[in-house]
Chains A and B, each alone.
Chain A
Amino acid sequence: MENEKVLVKGNYAIAQAALNAGCECYFGYPITPQTEIGEYLSGEMYKRNLAYVCAESELAAINMVIGAVSTGIKAMTTSSSCAVALMQESLSYACADQIPVVLVNVMRAGPGLGYIYPAQGDYNQSIYGGGNGDYKLTVLAPSTVQECIDLTYRAFYLAQKYRNPTVLLADGLLGQMMEPAVFGPNPYPEVDNSEWALTGAKGRDARLIKSLGPNEDEQIKLIYNLFEKYKQIEDNETDWEEINTEDADVVLVAFGSMTRNIKATMNVLREQGLKVGILRPITLYPFPNKRLNELADKVKDFIVVEMNMGQMVNSVKLAVNGKARINLINRPVGQWLSVEEITTEAKKILEASYASV
Chain B
Amino acid sequence: MQVFKIPESMKKDAKFTYCPGCDHGIANRLVAELIDEMDLKEKTICATSIGCSVFLYDFLNVDCIEAPHGRAMAVATGAKRARPDHFVFTYQGDGDFASIGIAESTHAALRGENITGICINNTTYGMTGGQMGPTTILGQKTTTSPMGRFVGTYGYPIHIAEHMALCDGTAYSTRVALDTVAHIKQAKQALKKAFQVQLDGLGVGFVEILATCPTNWKMTPDESHERVRTEMMEIYPLGVYKDITKAE
Contacts and interface: CB of A to CB of B under 8 A. Distances in A.
B81 interface: yes
Given A51-B82, A201-B41, A67 B66 contact: no
Contacts of A89: 68
Contact of B57 (A57, A66, A203, A208): A208
A73 to B, nearest CB: 5
Given A200-B42, A208-B57, A51 B81 contact: yes
B168 to A, nearest CB: 15
Interface string A82-109: 0000000110010001000000000000
B78 A68 contact: yes
Nearest to B48: A210
A208 B66 CA distance: 8
Interface string A15-26: 000000000110
Nearest to B103: A56
A202 B45 CA distance: 12
A278 interface: no
A90 B74 CA distance: 12
A46 to B, nearest CB: 13
Contacts of A70: 45, 65, 75, 78-79
A210 B44 CA distance: 17
A198 B78 CA distance: 12
A71 B63 CA distance: 10
B137 interface: no
B81 A25 contact: yes
Interface string A294-323: 000000000000000000000000000000
B81 A64 contact: yes
Contacts of A198: 45, 63-65, 79
A131 to B, nearest CB: 10
A63 interface: yes
Given A60-B74, A202-B43, A67 B111 contact: no
A222 interface: no
Given A64-B74, A67-B75, A53 B81 contact: yes
A309 B87 CA distance: 49
A209 B74 contact: no
Contacts of B48: 210
Contact of A71 (B61, B68, B82, B103): B82
Contacts of B135: none
Given A68-B81, A212-B54, A53 B62 contact: no
B173 interface: no
A110 B71 CA distance: 26
A67 B78 contact: yes
A112 B139 CA distance: 40
Contacts of B86: 71, 199-200
A193 to B, nearest CB: 12
B63 A63 contact: no
Interface centre among B41, B44, B67, B80 (most CB of A within 10 A): B67
A117 to B, nearest CB: 29
Interface string A194-222: 00001111110111111110000000000
Interface in B35-88: 41-45, 47-48, 54, 57, 60-68, 71, 74-83, 86-87
Contacts, number: 134
Nearest to A205: B61
Residue of B54, B78, B80, B81 with highest tally of chain A CB at under 10 A: B78
Contact of A67 (B44, B54, B74): B74
Given A200-B43, A210-B57, A67 B64 contact: no
A56 B70 CA distance: 13
A27 interface: yes
A93 B69 CA distance: 11
Contacts of A210: 48, 57, 64-66
A65 interface: yes
A19 to B, nearest CB: 16
Nearest to A26: B81
B65 A68 contact: no
Nearest to B104: A60
Contact of B78 (A59, A64, A93, A97): A64
A209 B64 contact: yes
A91 to B, nearest CB: 10
Interface string B100-143: 00011011000100000000000000000000000000000000
Contacts of B41: 200-201
Contacts of A200: 41-45, 62-63, 86-87
Nearest to A202: B42
Nearest to A211: B66
Given A24-B82, A51-B82, A71-B86, A66 B75 contact: yes
Closest 8 CB pairs between A and B?
A67-B78, A64-B78, A67-B75, A68-B78, A202-B42, A51-B81, A68-B82, A210-B66
Given A68-B81, A89-B68, 4 more contacts: A198-B65, A200-B63, A209-B66, A210-B66
Interface of A: 24-25, 27, 51, 53, 55-57, 59-61, 63-71, 73, 75, 89-90, 93, 97, 198-203, 205-212
